[in-house]
Amino acid sequence: MVFSSLTFLFFGFLPITLIAYYLVPKRLKNVVILVSGLVFYAWGEPIYVLAMILSTFIDYTAGRIIAKYDDRPKIRLACLIVSITMNLGLLATFKYLGFIINSVNAWFGLEIPNPNLPLPIGISFFTFQSMSYTIDLYRRNIKVQKNAASFMAFVTLFPQIVAGPIVRYEDIQNEIDERTISEKMVGNGISRFITGLGKKVLIANNIGALWTQVKALDYSTLSAGTAWLGILAFTFQIYFDFSGYSDMAIGLGKMMGFNFPENFDYPYMSKSISEFWRRWHMTLGAWFRSYVYIPLGGNRKGYVRTLINILITWLATGIWHGAAWNYMIWGLYFGVLIVIERIFLGKVLEKIPSFFSWLYTFVLVVFGFVIFDGVAPGTTDFGEMFSQVFTYIGAMFGANGVLMDDLAKRSFVNYGIMFAVCIIGSTDMLKNFAKTIKEKAPKWVMYGYPVIQTAVMLVSVAFITTSTYNPFLYFNF
């Protein structure tokens, strides 16, 4: 079951939770976070909240034992193995078991029953978050959390529980026990939340409707114009959807006294694939660097081994995103591009005009999104997956013999303004403009900012209550 709508969040859960959080004494604030997190998660997945509780209980217990037997390396290692095995086991069971069974059946002509387990919302986020605690504790990078309610509050922090950013315990280890909430912090949090809400509801949902329409068509009939407009729509949809949710989560965190790490830094302005992944889903990149790339040896074991470690890390990144061949190929696709940049292309990109390095990066990212989302759900045949991807990319370059059709022309007219908004909104133009206004304009001009934000909030809520199209893309991961 996916969250039915955002109506529950805005008109029921969020106001009640924040009022309760502000009213209770300091010693009970983590209890409010714990209870609200469980309620929030259970609203979408009533049964599978037990998976989260199991993960939290085992990691908390493992952490206490690791801290208690600090001088017993075998006991500490055993607890770490239990934690990692349990978390990865949950992921493997709920996220990948069905895919593995379907693939084996397709390859070998078998009929192994598929349990078709529903995917718990955000399981990749909360398992990685909880698992990072025991790993960092084993490495002695953090101190043990002895209070069970406080540890569960860390895992069940409802603002980012289902779609990130991935908050590691070391990010908020001080704030989980002792934090202050100032008027300025709450004000900044409200502003950040409204910004994210506007990104998600007013931009991502509207531009995403075009991709939904194009994706449902037969790729072999697409004109070049329709193919480009469709995948560009998804390129902007996924950015504004996910960065919008991250902004909302960071804003809610500030309202509650937490400083969550940033997750996006205008990635579509990047001038290399390596730079793109330093700006996109930054908390996921940091997680894989800390817990996969560096443990593999990072760049400490020679040039060739470094390149192999990059490819392994990116294959794992692709697998994290979903149980399908296209996600694995998508991860390897970026891994190969980063390896190529590491070998020679990175130096070339630094020397050529910045427009061409940007164009190279953006076009390859768009091709990557064809791999990521241009494949029909449930496709288990490796060849069929590649066929769909190449057919779509071929259509982008006119392989179907049509450059512009009526759909492309209508889409350009209907979505032209929205594409312009997406282009401007995905750069730092508005940020720099606001900074200039703040520095040079009269103070009274800044009074218009709350008016604009109030309008964004009201229009967004109106869209939420009237629209039936409210997908949160990263809930699926």
* Rounded-to-integer distance, Cα 233 and Cα 236, Å: 5
* Burial of residue 420 (number of CB atoms within 10 Å: 0-12, 13-18, 19+): exposed
Active-site residues, by number, are 321
Instruction: Tokens for 382, please give them.
Output: 């490796």
Tokens 């406080």 found at: 150
Task: Please state the three-class secondary structure of 177-210 as a single string.
Answer: CCCCCCHHHHHHHHHHHHHHHHHHHHHHHHHHHH
Going by the DSSP 8-state scheme, the letter that residue 262 receives in this structure is P
Show Cβ contacts of residue 52 under 8 Å, excluding neighbours closer than 6 positions: 38, 41, 120, 126, 155, 156
Q: Distances from the Cα of 215 to the Cαs of 195, 352, 388, in angstroms?
A: 28, 35, 11
Cα angle for residues 271, 273, 278 (degrees, 5° grid):
90
How far apart are alpha carbons 66 and 63 in whole angstroms? 5
Alpha carbons 167 and 162: distance in angstroms, whole number? 12
Q: Are 164 and 284 in contact (CB under 8 A)?
A: yes
Amino acid at 411: S
